[in-house]
């Protein structure tokens, strides 16, 4: 199952001492690199400088696998939020059928 995740840091994270933030950030990067190594092309992360969010798309085998992917040090300490959206792949015929349904609903 493909899942789009948008992750943000809570405001309380900025109140931490710099050394603690650095430790949590380093652990989080390590976790993400391990996840990428494990999942390969099934996991991609995107970021926009200054946006304050990280966006990832992963193709997970189960909800449990997805839940584990969110267990970064920052998340475990309660300093991040995650929005999750299930994705489906649509081919051209499916998209045309969807558009016809939308037109009929108007």
Residue 25's domain is classified under what CATH number?
Answer: 3.30.70.1060
- Give DSSP secondary structure letters for 41-103: GGEEEEE-TTS-EEEEEEE-SSHHHHHHHT--HHHHTT-EEEEEEEE----HHHHHHHHHHHH
First to last CA, the chain: 31
Q: How confident is the model over 28-79, as pLDDT tens digits?
A: 999 999 999 999 999 999 988 888 899 999 999 999 999 999 999 999 999 9
Cα angle: 81, vertex 82, 84; to 5 degrees = 160
- Mean pLDDT value across the chain: 92
**Domain span including residue 37:** 2-105
Neighbours of 52 (CB within 10 A): 9
Contact between residue 56 and residue 47 where contact means Cβ atoms under 8 Å apart: no
For residue 78, the model assigns a pLDDT of 93
Say how many domains are in the chain. Answer: 1
Integer Cα distance of 106 and 102 in angstroms: 7
């Amino acid at each position: 199952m493909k899942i789009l995740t948008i992750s943000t840091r809570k405001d309380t994270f900025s109140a931490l001492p710099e050394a603690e933030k650095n430790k949590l950030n380093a652990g989080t990067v390590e976790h993400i690199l391990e996840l990428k190594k494990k999942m390969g092309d099934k996991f991609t992360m995107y970021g926009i400088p200054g946006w304050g969010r990280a966006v990832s798309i992963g193709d997970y085998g189960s909800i449990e696998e997805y839940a584990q992917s969110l267990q970064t040090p920052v998340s475990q300490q309660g300093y991040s939020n995650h929005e999750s959206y299930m994705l489906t792949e649509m081919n051209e015929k499916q998209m045309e059928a969807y558009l016809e349904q939308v037109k009929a609903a108007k």
